[in-house]
A and B are shown apart, each in its own frame.
Chain A
Amino acid sequence: MSAKARIELRPTPHIHAPQDVTVIMRNVVLACLPLAGWAVWQYGLSAALLGVTVVASCLLTEWLFGRGETLRDWSAVITGLLLFLTLPPGFPLWMGAVAGVTAIGLGKTLFGGLGMNVFNPALVGRAFVQAAFPVAITTWTPPFFEGRFSGLIPTTLTLPFTIPPETSRWAGAVAVDAFTGATPLALAKFQQSLSPATDLFLGTTAGSAGESSALLVLVCGLYLAARKMLDWRIPVSVLAGAALTAALFHLLDPERHPDAGFTLLSGGLMLGAWFMATDMVGSPVTPRGVVIYGLLIGVVTVVIRLFGGLTEGVMYAILLGNAATPLIDQLTQPRVFGEKRR
């Protein structure tokens, strides 16, 4: 060894776990890709264009706000992908871009960037467009329609600030089965008709780009959980909270309220539980806190679905959970080692 070796002085500990932020984010992106892929398979070219538009607008916004170096941590890609998965596949592209800009600009950068945001940025974007474009966001497309890889859904290329064309005639013409233009949740709410569980599970029903196959969401979510990149206690308690609440109401009035199985498999609950509620930044850090947070989201989701004016409540439930996170953390500080049991 040479006499004048260069010596590094570093604080303890001198070693670190292999998973850093970039590794985690990359894997979340990886886990979202099959969901996006399924959406494209179901809805064709329009979905692909929408996905690219939304992700690009998120990245562009992140870059514009002077955070060029933060592009490399992949978190803006996650926001974009998740946002895309919550939108109807025929959503006009320009509205998708608006959603992306809002998600990053309003949901993330305004709070100070990665780690500082209170709410899940993707849901902020989605909430914004839901308020701004209430019709477009509830215009559904039949899955597996004919010619989906050669043509576009008529609404996709709507020019900015014009009203999207009416699609029900087009949908009726291209749909494989009779298409009612409603999601399983809407059917259940307004017509008391439950879609079969297998359709929901495999994802052959109408809905947002990424919310229709519970099975696929489950598989991708379990991958992340197995690699310890999401806290499995969150989805489990969200689903438990929703199932219990649904079962209770179903027991009280089986005619009006759907059962727990339908509740779990329909709408965005699976996607929300595994991919949105688990967003680390907006969820609590304490062991008891994550369970309370999950249960809260599950219960609120079902209550909104059954008693609110909306068919779907996951988004608002998660935003509410995000808002409650600091308080939950405060109230669930674990007992410090050696402290008297309270």
Chain B
Amino acid sequence: MRLFRRKTFSHGIHPPDHKAETAHSPIRRLPFPPRLVVPLDQHIGKPAVPLVHKGQEVVRGEPIARADGFLSAPVHAPATGRVRDIRPMPTARDRLTPCILIDVYEAATQEVLWHYPWQPRKMDRQALIQAVREMGLVGLGGAAFPSHVKLSVPEDKPAHTLVVNGCECEPYLSCDHRVMVEQPAELLRGVRYALRATGAKRAIIGIEDNKPDAIRLLQKLTAEEPAIEVEAVATKYPQGSEKMLIRSLMGLEVPAGGIPLDIGVVVNNVGTLAMLGALLPQGEALTERVITVTGPGVQRPGNYRVPLGTPIGFVLREAGYRGEAGDFVLGGPMMGPSVSDLRTPITKGSSGLLVLDEAAVRRESPRTWPCIHCGRCVNACPMRLNPAMLGRLAAAGEYQRMAAKYHLSDCFECGSCSWICPARIPLVQQFRVAKQWLRDQERRKRHAAPPRQQPLEASGKEVRAA
């Protein structure tokens, strides 16, 4: 049966995956940089609140900022050293965000010196979730959503299945692949913790079929464990998006505008759960992660374990980048943002550092044409939207109609439409602008009382002209 019907979703694209460059290089540890830049908002939600002051000594693993409310996550010192300053620095979020700067002690052993007294064997659901919260764990696949929030399943909305996302569908990246192959025991331990924390009865690990070694290994290790299944899914972008993966594995569609828990599913990334399985028994917090450093122009591409807060300039020196110019992407080439400053740090959500050198950038920056109505974007969009129509409306500034009639809010900016568009129309960028405009509009409406009777069409043009 598997031969004829591979588990997959409809539409999507097949970009060249460029994984061979790094998929077989074992994870190596990078040295500590002389200075770390540790942002307070490495997660979705409210930024953490600093617990340290300028000049204070910190040891590796010690909490240096606490979570601010439930949808937030604490931050821990990634290395032993002294707090140099707390000030705004450029980060991947493309603006100045408050960061804790740490001068790393050169001679320090860099063992983790700070431990939590967790005893995983004795922990119940609540205690597990509390521990996940204390260790500052967030989704390491790129979304950086606080893990304790994801694992907290409310009484009235039970979860039956834990989907473990091992797709790694972004081209170039292979860090999840390496983690699955090198740390399967930690991963499975993490899966068991997550099953316990969510109360789900079974876990399905979904892996794209371009990683047969990982599939075979995990299938062998779980052969005796009926609660954990390992399934191959078709290699297709964006297989690793939550909604697509659930569709592929279980045949269920998450309702539009909803979240997986609405249909009783919790999704976690393999890297996140492997980290959980590694940290919890040790009583350690999240201080480092594995990233793929790759791209044309990188001399020693590979997978590296780096302390959080390591500036990308340091990573590039270590991995050998000689170019004079380039497009530096934090994450994969489909959804990762470009960064504007080489001091930008690696954070919890950075799954990779992709460098497109001058030649690659020039190849990728051709002119644009008008939409030729070829329909490729329509046949690529995994949400089954009509990007061609959305693009036309965006160009005309009709943002309201995009949302009201063409489901703009269901677009999750996967980039499939832009990738395939032969006219090279920056569709995703247009959609992002439209969404931002609508959010601003919404905010203005809420704050301005009484609501101004201004024709929306006209104000749209103003904003675009600005």
A338 CB to nearest B CB, Å: 4
Question: What are the residues of chain B within 8 A of A1 when measuring CB–CB?
Answer: 313, 316-317, 321-323
Interface residue A73 (Cβ < 8 Å from any Cβ of B)? yes
Report yes or no: A13 in contact with B371, Cβ–Cβ below 8 A. no
List, in ascending order, chain B residues with CB within 8 A of A286's CB: 375, 378, 386
For residue B426, which residues in chain A have a CB less than 8 angstroms away from its CB? 11
Give bound CA distance, A7 to B342, whole Å: 9
A274 CA / B37 CA spacing, docked (Å): 59
Assess whether A255 is interfacial by the CB under 8 Å rule. Answer: no
Contacting chain A: which of B101-109, B250-258, B438-446?
B250-258
Most buried by B among A19, A115, A284, A290: A115
Whole-angstrom distance from the CB of B143 to the nearest CB of chain A? Answer: 14
Q: Which of A14, A17, A21, A116 contacts B354 (CB 8 A)?
A: A14
Q: Does A342 contact B (CB under 8 A)?
A: no
Tell me the bound Cα distance from A16 to B389 in angstroms. 20
Q: Across the interface, do A6 and B325 meet the contact criterion of CB distance under 8 Å? A: yes
Question: Contacts of B256 on A, CB cut-off 8 Å?
Answer: 336-339
Chain A 1-37 interface 0/1 with B at a Cβ cutoff of 8 Å (1 = within):
1100111111111111101110110000000000000
Q: How far is the CA of A336 from the CA of B327 in the complex (A)?
A: 34
- Which of A2, A14, A283 has the most B CB atoms < 10 Å from its CB? A14
In this assembly, does A280 line the interface, its C-beta being within 8 Å of a C-beta of chain B?
Answer: yes
Number of interface residues of A (CB under 8 A): 44
Query: Taking the nearest CB of chain B, how far is it from the CB of A111, in angstroms?
Result: 11
Query: When the two chains form the complex, which single residue of A23, A283, A334 contacts B422, counting CB atoms closer than 8 Å?
Result: A23
Contacts of A11 in B (CB 8 A): 338, 426, 428-429, 432
By the criterion of a CB under 8 Å from any partner CB, how many residues of chain B are at the interface? Answer: 71
Contact at A338–B424, with CB atoms within 8 Å? no
* B413 in contact with A12 (CB, 8 Å): yes
> Shortest Cβ distance from B388 into chain A, in angstroms?
5
Query: In this complex, what residue of B is CB-closest to A289?
Result: B375
Partner of A231, one of B375, B388, B415, B423: B375
For residue A287, CB closer than 8 A to chain B, the reply is yes
Cβ distance A122 to chain B, nearest Cβ, rounded Å: 15
Q: How far is the CB of B202 from chain A (nearest CB, A)?
A: 23
**Interface code B342-380, partner A: CB below 8 Å = 1, 0 otherwise?**
100000000000101000010011100111111101110
The reply on B55 being an interface residue by CB < 8 A is no
Q: Is the CB of B422 within 8 A of A13?
A: no
Contact residues of B: prevailing secondary structure: loop
Report chain B residues within 8 Å CB of A21.
369, 372, 422-424
* Interface hit among B110-118, B183-191, B328-336: B328-336
Measured in the bound complex, the distance between the Cα atoms of B341 and A6 in whole Å is 10
Contacts of A23 in B (CB 8 A): 422
Residue numbers in B under 8 Å from A2 (CB-CB): 324
CA distance A17 to B325 in the complex (A): 23
Would B243 and A338 count as touching, CB distance under 8 A? yes
**Do A12 and B423 touch (CB < 8 A)?**
no
Closest-CB distance, B207 to chain A (whole angstroms): 22
Verify B334–A337 contact, CB threshold 8 A: no
Instruction: Give the residues in chain B near A281, CB-CB below 8 Å.
Output: 372-373
Q: Is the CB–CB distance between B372 and A285 below 8 Å?
A: no
Within 8 Å of chain B (Cβ to Cβ): is A172? no
Q: How far is the CA of A329 from the CA of B413 in the complex (A)?
A: 23
Decide: B15 and A15 in contact? CB cutoff 8 A.
Answer: yes
8 Å CB interface, A324-341 against B: 329, 333-340
- Give complex CA distance A10, B429 in Å: 10
- Give the residue name and chain of the B residue nearest to A341 (CB): B253
B390-424 contact mask (Cβ, 8 Å, vs A): 1 or 0:
00000000000000000100100101001111111
Complex contacts, A283 vs chain B, CB 8 Å: 373, 375
Q: How far, in angstroms, from A13 to B420 measured CA to CA in the complex? A: 10
Chain B residues near A340 (CB, 8 Å)?
255
- Whole-angstrom distance between the alpha carbons of A114 and B378 in the complex? 19
Residues of chain A within 8 A of B341, CB atoms compared: 7
Instruction: Check A284–B325 contact: CB distance below 8 A.
Output: no
B338 pairs with A8, CB closer than 8 A: yes
Q: Least Cβ distance of A185 to chain B in Å? A: 31
Q: A1-B316, A12-B413 are in contact. Are A290 and B336 (CB under 8 A)?
A: no
B123 on the A face (CB < 8 A) = no
Asked whether B410 lies within 8 Å of A12 as measured between CB atoms, the reply is: no
CB of B422 within 8 A of CB of A14, answer no
- Is residue B52 contacting chain A, with contact meaning CB distance below 8 A? no
CA distance in complex: A11, B327 (Å): 10
Taking CB atoms, residues of chain B closer than 8 Å to A181 are none
Name which residue of chain A comes closest to B94, CB basis. Answer: A9
8 Å CB contact of B370 from A10, A116, A231, A334: A116
Whether, in the assembled complex, B383 has its beta carbon less than 8 Å from a beta carbon of chain A, the answer is yes
> Cα distance A28–B98 when bound, in Å?
55
Instruction: Say which residue of B253, B375, B386, B413 sits within 8 Å of A337 (CB atoms).
Output: B253
Distance in angstroms from A263 CB to nearest chain B CB is 28
**Is A113's beta carbon under 8 Å from chain B?**
yes
Taking a contact as CB atoms under 8 Å apart, the answer to whether B375 and A13 are in contact is: no
Cβ of B385 within 8 Å of any chain A Cβ, yes or no, is yes
Question: Do B338 and A24 touch (CB < 8 A)?
Answer: no
Q: Assess the B420–A12 pair: CB atoms within 8 A.
A: no
A22–B378 Cα distance when bound, in Å, is 20
Check A280–B374 contact: CB distance below 8 A: yes
Contact A115 B419, beta carbon cutoff 8 Å: no
B340 sits at the interface (CB 8 A): yes
With A14-B327, A19-B422, A21-B422 in contact, do A115 and B317 touch (Cβ < 8 Å)?
no
* A8-B361 contact, Cβ under 8 Å, with A336-B407, A338-B256: yes
Q: Which residues of A from 13 to 66 have beta carbons under 8 Å from B?
A: 13-17, 19-21, 23-24
Q: Is the CB of A12 within 8 A of B415?
A: yes
**Shortest CB–CB separation between residue B19 and chain A, in angstroms?**
14
Q: Which of A254-307 contact B (CB under 8 A)?
A: 280-287, 290
With CB as the reference atom, state the residue of chain A lying closest to B9. A337
Q: How far is the CB of B255 from chain A (nearest CB, A)?
A: 5
Whether B428 pairs with A8 at a CB distance below 8 angstroms is: no
Once A16-B364, A285-B378 are accepted as A-B contacts, the answer to whether A10 and B327 lie under 8 Å apart by CB is yes
B384 to chain A, nearest CB (A): 4
- Which of B325, B337, B383, B413 is close to A5, meaning CB atoms less than 8 Å apart? B325
Q: Which residues of A contact B386 (CB under 8 A)?
A: 285-286, 329, 333-334
- 6 nearest A-B residue pairs (beta carbon): A285-B375, A115-B370, A13-B415, A6-B325, A338-B256, A11-B429
Task: Beyond the given A15-B419, A286-B378, please list 14 additional residue pairs across the A-B interface where CB-CB is below 8 A.
Answer: A6-B324, A6-B325, A7-B341, A8-B325, A8-B356, A8-B361, A11-B432, A20-B422, A287-B379, A334-B386, A337-B383, A337-B384, A338-B410, A340-B255
Interface residues of B (CB under 8 A from A): 13, 15, 171, 243, 247, 253-258, 313, 316-317, 321-329, 333-342, 354, 356, 361, 364-366, 369-375, 377-379, 382-386, 388-389, 407, 410, 413, 415, 418-424, 426, 428-429, 432
Chain A residues at the B interface, C-beta cutoff of 8 Å: 1-2, 5-17, 19-21, 23-24, 73, 113-116, 231, 280-287, 290, 329, 333-340
